[in-house]
């Protein structure tokens, strides 16, 4: 991601605020990123972070779905590496809502896309979460 992009910059600031335990500041920065987004790519990035700060699983699902919809609208190489994580997030949200079938469906989709995640610790973390979810039966 381009660190000079204003949405990416706001989300990076939000992640720093999260790491420092300043969740209200993080939410504000992610909301500002959403409001700043000028295209589907930027909206996808902002929605990903907004989903992490929702008060209910239903709202988390709404933002995770928004993120996936925006990634689908971009439909180019900028988002290819996002899909494993997007589906993993949707699986977790469906699990939280008690829909194990949808959780499993998204875990399988995440597994199908993990090859597009660049090799390294993040990919290993994503694959480990997918594998754990699948071994648990989709939950």
> In this model, does residue 128 exceed pLDDT 70?
yes
The greatest distance separating any two alpha carbons of the chain, rounded to the nearest whole angstrom, comes to 41
How much is the pLDDT for 80?
94
State pTM to two decimals.
0.89
Rounded Cα distance, 24 and 3, in Å = 23
Q: Which pair of structure tokens corresponds to residue 59?
A: 């709202």
C-alpha distances in Å from residue 64, one per residue of 27, 39, 120, 135: 15, 17, 24, 23
pLDDT tens figures, 62-99: 999 999 999 999 989 999 999 999 999 999 999 999 99
How much is the pLDDT for 2?
80
Q: Which residues contact 138 (CB under 8 A, 6 or more apart)?
A: 91, 95, 100, 101, 103, 104, 105, 107
């Amino acid at each position: 991601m381009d660190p000079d992009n204003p949405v990416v910059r706001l989300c990076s600031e939000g992640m720093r605020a999260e790491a420092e335990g300043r969740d209200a500041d993080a939410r504000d920065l992610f909301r500002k990123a959403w409001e700043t987004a000028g295209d589907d790519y930027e909206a996808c990035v902002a929605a990903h972070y907004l989903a992490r700060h929702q008060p209910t699983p239903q709202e988390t699902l709404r933002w995770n779905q928004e993120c996936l919809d925006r990634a689908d609208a971009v439909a180019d190489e900028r988002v290819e590496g996002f899909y494993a994580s997007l589906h993993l997030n949707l699986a977790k949200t469906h699990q939280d809502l008690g829909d194990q079938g949808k959780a499993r469906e998204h875990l399988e989709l995440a597994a199908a896309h993990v090859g597009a995640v660049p090799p390294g610790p993040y990919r290993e973390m994503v694959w480990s979460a997918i594998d754990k979810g699948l071994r648990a039966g989709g939950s």
